[in-house]
Amino acid sequence: MKKNFILILTLLVIGIAGCKNFKRPKKLVMRDTSITTSTSFNNLFFDSIQIEGFLKSHEEFKPYEEQFLNFYKERNYQFAWFDNKGIAEQSFNFLNLLNSSVSDLQDSSLYNPNLTHLYETAVADTLHQQPLENVLITELSFTGQFFAYAAKVYKGSDIDAADLGWFIPRKKLNLSALLDSSIKSKATDIEIYAKQNPQYKKLQEHLVRYNELAKTTSFDSIPQIKKPLKKGDSSYVVALIKRRLYALGDITITDSSFIFDSLTTIAVKKFQRRMGLSIDGAVGNKMIEELNVSLKWRIRQILVNMERLRWMPPEKDSNYILVNIPEYRLHVFDSGKTVMDMNVIVGKSANSTVIFTGNLKYIVFSPYWNVPTSIVKKEIVPSLEKNSNYLEKNHMEITGKSNGLPLVRQIPGPFNSLGLVKFLFPNNYDIYLHDTPNRDLFSQSSRSLSHGCIRISEPKKMAQYLLRYDTSWNSKNIDSSMNLTKERWVTLKKTIPVLIVYFTAWVDKSGELNFRKDIYGHDEKMALKLFTK
């Protein structure tokens, strides 16, 4: 009996001890991923691997993976579009900017209705109860859309510019740094940090106007005429012309009469100036062709040239020379302001002038013209076979031979094809500015006539400008240097940038929208790249 009692007591003690050491399984605690008032959006961070997951389900932002990683790595993967109150003011500013751009540019590729939905959901979440996963999607969606927007509007489409004959280095843009600057400053205008050519905004304003005009106006084709219409004439065609000029803004008063009056003459001259036509105040068939260009085509022309402006590098110097090939004009800028304009002659379509940039370094007075091998082969050798006195007649001489062809140069003088002076900015295209003995060609409205180099209408004026700070030069010794029997080289103390560009739509210093013909077909090639999709 006693033994049984001791055994039961021992088992009881062991049981009690076992109960004390037994640990019950912990209750499984679910992590609360909602943002509460205790967290209050302070110090929101995420893991870098979550970017990879986001991009897998948002392939439209995959091209910007590097920018995503660079941007968030710099901020230690802290949220950017949310502050301690919730979704930040900058998100609202960007959404407005995005929607305005979609409207102004009529560019559906920038439209993102999901972003608006994400923003509205975030704003409505006043109790901060959204799952953190949803907040992260909103965060990364804003970042991705910013990169897509900035790349399109400030950098330009992913097009090989050289494939379109454009050899000016394209503007470089650090999208990650641009977003960082915009977030920190809460800027409503990204352009503060991504400078665009001033022409861009001006063209965009006219694009908005033309888009509205295209929605509200339809044009009947103006018929061709047998002879030009001018002041004093009367015709139903005059009424059609007035209506068109009123719609385009060249005349401010509506007038349906058939009379070609003085106000019509003023409006015609304005339109002719904007189109690069001969400004005579009379309407001929060339002008009617320009009037009949559809609004849809003009809108496309504006968009093509806005794309080119996105490529333009920022100005490094406020003093520069700009040649616009389709305009047949040269413009000199000093301290950012136009100080000189002159007509130029550019290359024919078969010998098109190259679009590039260089630095003007030398003036060569009384130059020799070293005739290019191509011209020697195609023109001079056949002419010599027909006429042995061809060289003497054209003031040329042979200086040697190369690959079986003579090396030919034309001696200095008023008959020289380069005229009395040339301006060199060393480049791989053998293109430069120069004078010409054929002065009458500058009065033509279409001036694509050269072998590629650029002939300028006022060479002495250009020389005076370039040498304006050198007291050893004046009008008299510039004249004498332009009439030597041997060429004279002058090295500029400071080089000046030269930009040879191709714009068929731009806004002039009077605020008027100009259009020119696509003389080399560059617009058409770019339009195929931009609008085919």
Confidence label for 132 from pLDDT (cuts 50, 70 and 90): confident
Q: Can you tell me the distance from the alpha carbon of 531 to that of 157, in angstroms, rounded to the nearest whole number?
A: 11
pLDDT at 16: 42
- The pairing of strands 320-324 and 488-501 is parallel
pLDDT for 338 beyond 80: yes
Q: In the chain, what percentage of residues exceed pLDDT 70?
A: 91
Q: 215-224, 506-515, 524-533: lowest mean pLDDT where?
A: 524-533
Out of 3.30.160.150, 1.25.40.10, 1.10.101.10, 1.20.59.10, select the CATH number for domain 220-293: 1.10.101.10
pLDDT at 42: 59
Domain boundaries, the chain: 49-195, 220-293, 316-531
pLDDT at 24: 41
* Catalytic-labelled residue, pool 58, 395, 453, 522: 453
pLDDT for 66 beyond 90: yes
Q: Nearest-CA neighbor of 406 among 430, 377, 368?
A: 377
Residues 84-104, mean pLDDT to the nearest whole number: 88
Angle at 348 between CA 356 and CA 199, to 5 degrees: 45
Per the DSSP assignment, residues forming a β-bridge with 358 are 498
Helix%, strand%, coil% for the chain, nearest 5: 45, 15, 35
Whether residue 19 lies in the annotated active site = no
- Residues sharing a CB contact under 8 Å with residue 198, sequence separation 6 or more, in sequence order: none
CATH node for 316-531: 2.40.440.10
pLDDT at 137: 95
Q: Can you tell me the distance from the alpha carbon of 32 to that of 16, in angstroms, rounded to the nearest whole number?
A: 38
Q: 246-260, 317-331, 519-533: lowest mean pLDDT where?
A: 519-533
Amino acid at 414: P
More confident residue, 325 or 13: 325
* Catalytic-labelled residue, pool 117, 206, 434, 522: 434
pTM: 0.86
189-198 tens-digit pLDDT:
676 677 788 8
